[in-house]
Amino acid sequence: MADYKAPLRDMRFVLHEVLNLEDHYQNLGVEELNRELVDAFLEEGAKFAMNELDPLYRSADEEGCQYHNGEVTTPKGFKEAYQKYVEGGWPSMNGDPEYGGQGLPNSAGTAISEMIGTANWAWNMYPGLSHGAVATLESHGTDEQKNTWLPKLVSGEWTGTMCLTEPHCGSDLGLLKTKAEPRDDGSYTITGTKIWISAGEHDMADNIVHIVLARTPGAPEGTKGISLFIVPKFLPDADGNPGQRNDLVCGSIEHKMGIHGNATCVMNFDGAQGFLIGEENKGLNCMFTFMNFARLGTAIQGVAHAERGFQVALDFARERLAMRSLSGPKNPDGPADPVIVHPDVRRMTLTAKAFAEGGRAMTYYASTLGDLVNQGDEEAENLMALLTPIAKAFLTEVGVESAIHGIQVCGGSGYIREWGAEQNLRDAKISTIYEGTTGIQALDLLGRKVLQSQGEQLRVWTKIIHKFCQSLEGDEAMKEFIEPLAARNEEWGNMTMELGQKAMQNPEEVGGASVDYLMYAGYVSLAYFWARMAKTAQEQLDAGTTETAFYQAKIDTARFYFRRLLPRCDAHKGAIEGGLECLMAIEDEHFMF
């Protein structure tokens, strides 16, 4: 099985050379966060990911979580790794110093999250949702709530969850039935069942703080009547330590396709004590702080699976000997050539590489927007709102594709466990489902973000791409990237206008076109980041860099992306133009098997 190797050189390239993160931090007023400190974080994060988590990747998948009478035991080594994670101060990187955090911008931890997730996504899910709980409380909690819950969540001593889904409703939260009855002391009694709760019960932390959606008596129907509550596993005592056990229990854990090392729980709230966050009936507004954080985290998951798919494919393709190159032997002293010389193997391996490295640039860029949003930048907020569904859905879809390529390159070896390729695919598939499926993200992008804003939010992004292309007019070295990017950017705007006109006649047109529209948006957006990376690489080559191989590989991968992957836009555009009628023509009762 191929060991995970943290792509530190590529991370530094994106952070320092493409995004100029040091300047970004200076503009934020975080002057102490310079290049040297960021690199030190990367080095230590890589050691933790490769030495502590990657060795548990396969064993945790095979062992899984064990459930007994409401208690969950995580796979061997998980608890010990988590203690090292807490001792290393990793959970507190982005936390408010007032509550024990290090006060670093969220973007400072994005690369760490990627490395930890690629090494072991199932493990990463235990601390992963805690960050969303912290962000929700920081934005919407009272001072008392912040003082009670944030210190332990920020330190990692306690972990957090997000409790939305119920047995009868998934993404349609307007149907949820969990009740919240007021108590005399100002708290609430929470009663109901939540399902598919990641890390809802485990043995890695002293307490688990559930962030729960529920309805108060007399609340309006639908999403307008939802409130948000803090419901801990243990109620804090007078000293802030875990005290009395709350009236909630894990009813069971799911038997899943992948992420076996993470406990996906059915949580039964049987009159548990909860504490209102924000105002009654405004819970969904508060929850979106959590959900948007989780969606960007899921975009990173797409990058993680693409990276692992690429690394597995590359390691195998370099070692495996099979057949001869069509143009003559490349390994004349051996019985056959390594399969990396064959064009189709290179196609699959380069596809995973292009998605991993392009997705890395996209998610790191989005994280810098998050830093600006936290400082009240409205333009950054609008741009991040547009890019979030694109990043979440597109990068997870191509992450799954990359995982498939990892299996295919390995052939029969990819279908068995030894190389880890089949686990990568099983773990990857959930990313296109949770935090809002690809279809739901697509409706959010086209329906809410683009059409409801009359294209204004989209124009913020396409204008950035247009100005970038305009700045490089006449640059012969960049012509092969800039001309197709500019053309697709213009086509994107025209296609949006046509869709808007159709949607005015029939709103169903939005649902019929949305996923193809999102994928089109993803390919064009990724092309922008590949063009930026190609420009940076060309500048280094022109300056006489000694790292010729690294920078030339960047340009070569960009060229592959533009010539072999960006043309997929034509298929998505053609599917949109195929219209709604063929989707809806068959009557429901005529679907047969």
Q: Active-site residues: which are they?
A: 435
Report the number of secondary-structure helices (H) and strands (E) in the chain: 20, 11
Cβ(262)–Cβ(199) under 8 Å? yes
Query: In angstroms, rounded to a whole number, what is the distance separating the alpha carbons of residues 533 and 537?
Result: 6
As a three-state string, the secondary structure of 383-413 is: HHHHHHHHHHHHHHHHHHHHHHHHHHHHCHH
Alpha-carbon distance of 523 to 495, in angstroms, equals: 15
In three-state secondary structure terms, 441 is helix
Tokens of 63: 């062992």
- The answer to whether 514 touches 447, Cβ cutoff 8 Å, is yes
Q: What angle do CA 113, 117, 123 make, to 5 degrees?
A: 115
Output the CA angle 216-221-223, nearest 5 degrees: 85
Q: Look at phi and psi of residue 392 and say left if phi exceeds 0, alpha if psi is from -120 to 50, else beta.
A: alpha
Closest CA to 388 of 470, 315, 322, 298: 298
Residue 178, helix vs strand vs coil:
coil
Contact status, residue 80 vs residue 60, Cβ threshold 8 Å: no
DSSP strand pairing (158-163 vs 207-214): parallel
291 residue type, one letter: M
Question: Structure tokens of 525?
Answer: 């957006």
The Cα 7–Cα 9 span in angstroms is: 6
Q: How far is CA 313 from the centre of its chain?
A: 22
Q: Which of 317, 353, 354, 356 is nearest to 337 (CA)?
A: 317
Q: Are 513 and 584 in contact (CB under 8 A)?
A: no
Distance (Å, whole) CA 333 – CA 328: 13
**Distance in angstroms (rounded) separating the CA atoms of residues 212 and 425:** 30
Q: Are 99 and 146 in contact (CB under 8 A)?
A: yes
How many angstroms separate the CA atoms of 89 and 155, rounded?
A: 7
163: β partners: 212
Max CA separation in the chain (angstroms)? 83
- The H-assigned helical ranges of 49-103 are 57-63, 78-87
Q: At what angle do helices 508-542 and 568-577 cross, to 10 degrees?
A: 160
Count of residues for the chain? Answer: 593
Q: CA quadruple 178, 170, 288, 223: dihedral positive or negative?
A: negative
